[in-house]
Structure 1
Amino acid sequence: MTTTIIILLYMAVIVAVAVISTTRKKVKEADDYLLAGRSLGPFMLAGTLAAAEIGGGSTVGVAAKAYGDWGLSAGWYVVCSGIGIFLVSFIAPYLRKAMATTIPEILERRYGTSAHLFATILSIIAGFIAGAVQIIATSTIISTITGMDLGKTIVLAGVIITIYTMLGGLVSVTATDIIHIVFITVGMAIAMPVIVKNAGGWENVKSLLPPGQLGLTKVGWKTIIGLILMYFMTFSTGQEAVQRYFAAKDMHVAKKGSFLCAIIMAVYGFIPAIIGLVALAKFPGINPNNAMATAAVNFCPPILGGVVLAAVCAATMSSASGNMIAVSTLFTNDIYKRYLKKNASGKDLVFVSKAVIVVVGAVSLAIAITNTQVIPLLVFAFTIRSAGPFASLIFGLIYKKSTVASGKLSLLFGSIAAFVWQYLGEPYGIMSVVFGSIVSTVVFFTVAIIQSSMGVPPAPSAITDEHIEKYNKEQNLNS
């Protein structure tokens, strides 16, 4: 009962913080609502990035994988994401200097309307699925500790997340993300040794585990390298992550904040895996998705158990809100303002953004009710949004000789290759997102080199003199 009260109080505090943060910083324009006024400092950026990316997959999902086939090596799922964020740090300054709001906006500058529309649709679909994953993870925790029906907890979690996200956009989400990341990292770090001790100590836990569960590379180097590539590809093209870079105060903050985030994720990595192993040792035969909650409820004092599970809810809620904001931004900026109402005022855009968040919450709820897998569903979302756009976005920012055709064809063939690879069951253990991104890269450079040799002019730059001037003007105003 104490644990349940703590989690409910936590959710109430999150909604209250969202209201207060929005009241203190008036949200009038779309940039305020969707990009927090492009004002995030390095620590705020690191915190909101980490909170957005340490979600259901990195908590409930990792514990479930440790309980299952991956064992202790499940911790690589989070460590690899930190490495991925570290690699994105080198691209972050380009993303910030582009003065963009969304990924498709950058693609349109180089490759035209068709590339823009295709990437927008892919990103929105992926956002719905990713949001559903986080709602599932939050609901699993609540259902396990309260005994409530999973369907009811999915609705409860979805409604709460939708409300606090809708209230103030990225302003409120950033404020609550800082609370989330403190709960996640500090709460879990304190609780993990307590869980191990109360389960009989590490030696006792080890003696009850199946052979091989403690192997650091049990998951295999192919998977570890694949995870690093997947995270680099998806974090550099995922709207919920890149939107944080767009919201940084300047290019330097974008890079520093990304470095700090990488450190946080690397340090946190193996904590949920160890908790999953404790659950396996003491409670063989339960649903792997319940491993985290089961270990916390049984081996933590009620108050600490509540803090731990509130931390897990924090992780999943922050990721869900990030996905909701991302979809809202994509629809508002890349569909509504572009095709439906080109002269929309800032007030109109804020209203539409809030309405879209409600729709996203409803659709994500529908997906969550019909599919309760965590990591497989999340990886599928990564595949949809990243495989095709990867090469055209990343190399389009830094490779001056890219052509319009190279961008469009890599976007198309990379997406098709990923879906076909997924349908074939990911042969040779190569992830669909990695295979699709490799195909998009090969197509991109092949077409660009051939066309360049034929005298075809390069595509327009994604960062023009106009964008640089706008960025410099913004920095002068801030200083």
Structure 2
Amino acid sequence: MNQVILSLYFFIVIFIGYSSYRKIKGSRDYFIAGKDAGVREIAGSLLATVLGSSAIIGSVNFSYANGWAGSWFMLCAAFGLLCLLPLVDRLKKNKSYNLPELMGEFYGEEVKNLSSVIIPIAWVGIVAAQIMGSAKIISIFVDMNYSTAVILSGLVFIAYTFLGGQLSIIKTDFIQFLFIIAGVVLCFVYILKGNGEINGMGMINEKFDYLDLFIMILTYSSTFLVGPDIYSRIFCARDEKTAKQAIKLSIVILIPLGFILAGIGVYVSSNYGVDIAKGSVLMFLADRVLPQPIVILLYFGLLSAVISSADTTLLTASSTFAQIFMKDLREEKAIRLTRIFILIFGGFSILVALKLTFILPTLLLALAVYSGAFIVPCLAGILGYKCGEKYAVLGILFGGGLALYGKIMGGTTGNMIIISSFLVNFMILAAGRTRKVRI
């Protein structure tokens, strides 16, 4: 029965992609959904993108091991979106389709091309993290081995994104978000009605201190302030007011959701002991605790989370890399070339997912590289400060390289190196500052 349900779900997803494929009339539809999305569509897409399986499964698992500190994942996302609000007017004045185009407007063609190389490489790790999450869900739901589940889910993501582009993503993200919320909230309500305890370490504790929180804000919150996937949502909005209302609605939903996800992890840790949910807390609950109707809804919610994040990140990676070979995404060949790279990056993400099985570290490594490289120069450009193109290139390379090294090293020393990546990036840009420009 579960196999039939899963097959039907994937069929519907691909059908929606095909339906959108038939409605695409040009690059404006494929890359920014016609630039006519309303509050509901933008908010649903923002939330569905934020709540990928890597964020949901990762934050719940983190809470299982580290107590209420797991709530910081969603709170940091909300904080990043809050900081984004004052920048919306500046962003909407640009005619860009994505972040590399924006960087090109600020610093020149060389910076645009460099951004179009580094961002897709980092984003492969994020797509792979979504595929890992999907494979873990599918392997339990239909009793399939992990490798087969990785290939199956990866092929579905690739087909869906290949066909519909941004038009299908915006259309379906709100529905997928409803699945996500229903599955997670019903799970939390059910365990609240039980006799178990929800007692865990505080939001700041011996396993997660203020330095860890500061690093999370730098490398996680900052990707919502300056993030290619988030900006792609903003560029799809019909106007500034729509974008701002959607961001505010997303913040209001993310804050309580952070505590709900943390509460699920703390509940399992409090009542079922150490290491009992080593693979996935949510999968443990689905297998041992929850009734079948909630289990099915939870699985669909998690799969929706996967799809809504994977398609966005895969399209972002592919479209930005395609820009290396053309002037901009408005050219006639843009859609065709982007689809080719969707196949390439999607296939490579499947290979990464087959080799790695740890979702959260993969996600955080990718985000650390991106944030160290791009947060400072992009934010500086949005605020109207400009430096020489060569200095911007050096800032991106040194910032991203230091962040990568720090994340690999880990520990307190690694955290200090990650912090230094932002400072080094800033100093290089300051050294090459030329003049202030109006955006």
TM-score by length of 2: 0.91
Partner deviation per Cα, 1:426-454 (whole Å, 9 max, x = no partner): 53563765442233123323442xxxxxx
Q: Distance in 2 between matches of 1:423 and 1:284?
A: 27
Structure 1 residue 363 corresponds to structure 2 residue 348: yes
Task: Verify the 8 A CA contact 1:6 1:307 in the aligned structure 2.
Answer: no
| Distance change >3 Å, CA 80–CA 11, structure 1 → 2 | same
Q: Does 2:27 correspond to 1:40?
A: no
The C-alpha deviation readout for 1:5-53, integer Å capped at 9, x for no partner, is 5444333333333333444xx2121121011011122221111011111
CA deviation profile, 1:226-245 (whole Å, cap 9, x unmatched): 32332332223332221111
Q: How does 1:314-393 map to 2 (within 5 A)?
A: 314-332=304-322, 334-338=323-327, 345-346=331-332, 348-393=333-378
- Partner amino acid for 2:43? A
In structure 1, list runs of 5 or more residues that go unmatched: 207-212, 449-456, 464-479
Deviations 1:58-107 (A, max 9, x none): 21111221222x12321211221111111122222222211101222222
Please list every run of 5 or more consecutive structure 2 residues that lacks an aligned counterpart in the other structure: none
Deviation of the 1:407 alpha carbon: 2.8
| Residues 358-403 of structure 1: CA deviation (Å, up to 9, x unaligned) | 2222111000000111111111111222212222111112134644
CA distance in 2, matches of 1:21, 1:81: 30
Map of 1:202 onto structure 2 = 196
**Residue deviations 1:115-145, cap 9 Å, x none?**
2222211101011111000000111111123
Q: CA deviation at 1:295?
A: 0.5
Change (3 A) 1:375 1:293: same
CA distance in 1 between partners of 2:438 and 2:4 (Å): 50
Is the Cα–Cα contact under 8 Å of residues 276 and 295 in structure 1 kept in the other structure?
no
Q: Per the alignment, do residues 274 and 352 of structure 1 end up closer, same or farther by CA in structure 2, a change over 3 Å counting?
A: same
User: Out of 90, 95, 105, which is 1:94 matched to?
Assistant: 90
CA contact (8 A) 1:392 1:408 kept: no
Other structure's SS at 1:458 match = strand
C-alpha displacement at 1:425, in angstroms? 2.6
- Does the 8 Å contact 1:71/1:214 carry over to 2? yes
Partners of 2:245 and 2:358 in 1: how far apart? 34
Q: How does 1:62-461 map to 2 (within 5 A)?
A: 62-68=59-65, 70-197=66-193, 200-203=194-197, 206=199, 213-218=200-205, 219-280=208-269, 281-282=271-272, 284-286=274-276, 288-332=278-322, 334-338=323-327, 345-346=331-332, 348-400=333-385, 402-428=387-413, 430=415, 434-448=419-433, 457-458=434-435, 461=437
* Aligned-partner SS, 1:147: coil
Supply the distance in 2 between the matched residues of 1:462 and 1:5 (Cα, whole angstroms): 56
Q: Is the 8 A contact 1:18 1:167 kept in 2?
A: yes
In 2: Cα distance, 1:324 partner to 1:311 partner: 20
In structure 2, give the amino acid aligned to 1:192: F
Once the two structures are TM-superposed, the CA of residue 274 in structure 1 deviates from its matched residue by 2.4
- Name the SS of the counterpart of 1:285 in structure 2: coil
The ranges of structure 1 where at least 4 consecutive aligned residues each deviate by more than 6 angstroms after the TM superposition are none
| TM-score w.r.t. length of structure 1 | 0.84
Does the CA contact (< 8 Å) of 2:106 and 2:386 recur in 1?
Answer: no
Please give the alpha-carbon distance, in whole angstroms, between the structure 2 residues aligned to 1:53 and 1:156: 23
Q: Is the 8 A contact 2:219 2:372 kept in 1?
A: no
Change in Cα spacing, 1:35 to 1:432, as seen in structure 2 (3 Å) is: farther
Aligned residues with identical type, % of pairs = 25
Q: Is contact 2:180-2:304 (8 Å) kept? A: yes
Q: C-alpha displacement at 1:188, in angstroms?
A: 1.3
Once the two structures are TM-superposed, the CA of residue 158 in structure 1 deviates from its matched residue by 0.7
| Cα distance in structure 2, aligned partners of 1:425 and 1:216 | 21
Taking the aligned partners of 1:427 and 1:119, their CA distance within structure 2 comes to 29
3-state secondary structure, aligned to 1:91? helix
Distance in 1 (CA, whole Å) between partners of 2:365 and 2:222 is 13
How many equivalent pairs are there?
A: 436
Decide whether the 8 Å contact of 2:407 with 2:415 is kept in 1: no
Letter in 2 for 1:115: V
> Shift of residue 310 of structure 1?
1.0
Alignment partners' CA distance in 2, 1:354 and 1:184 = 28
Alpha-carbon distance between aligned partners in 2 of 1:354 and 1:258, rounded to the nearest angstrom: 29
**Secondary structure at the residue paired with 1:270?**
helix
Instruction: Pick from 47, 57, 61 the counterpart of residue 60 of structure 1.
Output: 57
Q: Distance in 1 between matches of 2:130 and 2:169?
A: 15
DSSP-derived class of the 2:279 partner? helix
Structure 1, 268-277 or 147-156: larger mean CA deviation: 268-277
Root-mean-square deviation over aligned CA pairs: 2.5
- Aligned equivalents of 2:44, 2:341: Cα separation in 1: 25
Is the CA contact (8 Å cut-off) linking 2:161 and 2:314 kept in structure 1?
Answer: yes
- Aligned mates of 1:103, 1:426 — CA distance in 2: 31
Instruction: Please name the residue that 1:28 is paired with.
Output: 25
